[in-house]
C-alpha cells in the first residue's frame, strides 16, 4: 500500500520534473508523458495529484515564486532580496529555476505578476537605502528608475539564449557575469553621454509640452523701429 509520504514524494518529483521540462521546452511543447517518465511515475499519477497540465503549471509557478520570495522556502539559501543573485552563482543546481523564471516572466499570470512586483519592490528598497546612504544622485522619478533598474537585471534571465548568442557565452555563467561587471558599473556610474545636452534638451521639450505651459513669446518690435 502506498503511504501518504510516498504521495508527497511523488508529487514533489512530478513538480520538479515539470519545472525542468517547462524551463527547457516551454509550456506548450512539454508533454505530460515526458514529465511522467522523468519523474518515474505514470501520466495517470500526474492527473491524480494535479489534474490537468494547466493546473500542474500553476503549481510550478507558485512553487518557483516561493523559492525566490519566501523566507520559509530553503531551497535557495540566502536573503529574499538576494535569492536570484544567489541562484545565479550555482547554475548547476538552480539553473532550471532560473530558466523557468525567465519563461514565467515572459507570460502573463498571477504568479508571474506577483513575482515581478516583488522584484521591483525589492529594487526600490535597495535604491532608497543607497540614496539615504549618499551613494545615489536624486532621481526625478524613483518609481520609474526602480523599474528600469529591475528590467536591466532581469533582461539576461528572460533573454538568456539571445544574450548568449550575441556574446558568444552565457551571461549568467561566472565568466559571463565577470565580463558584465565593469561595463554595467560604468553605465550606472558615469552614463554613456559625455555631456548633458540630450538631458537638458529633453527637459526643455517636456516642460514646453506640459499642460498649462505656454511657449515663450518672442519680444515684438514696432515696424520700422530698430
Write down the residue that cell numbers 546612504 correspond to: 133
Does 145 fall in a domain? yes
In the prediction, which pLDDT does 133 show?
Answer: 93
User: Which CATH number do you get for residue 75?
Assistant: 1.10.357.10
Q: Phi and psi dihedrals of 160, rounded to 5?
A: -60, -45
**Residues 127 and 142: beta-carbon distance below 8 Å:** yes
**Residues 127 and 149: beta-carbon distance below 8 Å:** yes
pLDDT band at 53 (very low <50, low <70, confident <90, very high): very high
Write out pLDDT tens, residues 89-138: 778 788 889 899 898 888 778 888 888 998 899 889 989 999 999 999 98
| All three cell numbers of 139 | 532621481
Buried b (16+ CB within 10 A) or exposed e, 2-15: eeeeeeeebbebbb
State the Cα–Cα distance between residues 10 and 95, nearest whole angstrom.
Answer: 22
Write out pLDDT tens, residues 190-215: 989 999 999 999 999 998 877 765 54
CA atoms in the 13 A half-sphere facing the CB of 131: 13
Least confident of 33-47, 83-97, 132-146, 155-169: 83-97
In the prediction, which pLDDT does 2 show?
Answer: 41
Residues near 24 by beta carbon (within 8 Å), at least 6 away in sequence:
30, 96, 99
Does 174 fall in a domain? no
**Residues 123 and 146: beta-carbon distance below 8 Å:** yes
Instruction: Indicate yes or no: pTM above 0.85.
Output: no
| All three cell numbers of 144 | 520609474
Write out pLDDT tens, residues 66-86: 888 776 666 776 655 677 777
Does 122 fall in a domain? yes
181 in helix, strand or coil? helix
Does 146 fall in a domain? yes
Does 141 fall in a domain? yes
In the prediction, which pLDDT does 1 show?
Answer: 40
Does 215 fall in a domain? no
Least confident of 37-51, 93-107, 154-168: 93-107
Instruction: Give the count of domains, the chain.
Output: 1
Residues near 45 by beta carbon (within 8 Å), at least 6 away in sequence:
10, 14, 36
Does 95 fall in a domain? yes
pLDDT > 60? residue 225: no
Per the structure, the complete domain to which residue 11 belongs is given by 7-158
Does 133 fall in a domain? yes
Write out pLDDT tens, residues 2-14: 444 444 588 999 9
The Cα-based distances of 13 to 40, 94, 119, 152 in angstroms read 8, 15, 28, 33
| Average pLDDT of the residues of the chain | 84
Amino acid at each position: 500500500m502506498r503511504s501518504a509520504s510516498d504521495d508527497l514524494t511523488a508529487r514533489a518529483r512530478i513538480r520538479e520534473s515539470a519545472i525542468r521540462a517547462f524551463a527547457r521546452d516551454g509550456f506548450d511543447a512539454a508533454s505530460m508523458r515526458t514529465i511522467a517518465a522523468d519523474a518515474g511515475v505514470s501520466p495517470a499519477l500526474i492527473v491524480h495529484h494535479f489534474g490537468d497540465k494547466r493546473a500542474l503549471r500553476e503549481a510550478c509557478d507558485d512553487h518557483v515564486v516561493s523559492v525566490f520570495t519566501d523566507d520559509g522556502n530553503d531551497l535557495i539559501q540566502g536573503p529574499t532580496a538576494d535569492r536570484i543573485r544567489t541562484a545565479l552563482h550555482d547554475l548547476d543546481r538552480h539553473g532550471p529555476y532560473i530558466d523557468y523564471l525567465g519563461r514565467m516572466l515572459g507570460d502573463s499570470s498571477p504568479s508571474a505578476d506577483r513575482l515581478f512586483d516583488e522584484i521591483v519592490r525589492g529594487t526600490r528598497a535597495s535604491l532608497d537605502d543607497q540614496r539615504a546612504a549618499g551613494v545615489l544622485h536624486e532621481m526625478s522619478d524613483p518609481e520609474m528608475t526602480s523599474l528600469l533598474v529591475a528590467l536591466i537585471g532581469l533582461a539576461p534571465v528572460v533573454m538568456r539564449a539571445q544574450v548568449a548568442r550575441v556574446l558568444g557565452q552565457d551571461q549568467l555563467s561566472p565568466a559571463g557575469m565577470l565580463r558584465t561587471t565593469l561595463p554595467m558599473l560604468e553605465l550606472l556610474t558615469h552614463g554613456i553621454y559625455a555631456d548633458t545636452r540630450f538631458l537638458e534638451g529633453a527637459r526643455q521639450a517636456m516642460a514646453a509640452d506640459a499642460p498649462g505651459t505656454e511657449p515663450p513669446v518672442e519680444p515684438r518690435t514696432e515696424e520700422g523701429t530698430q
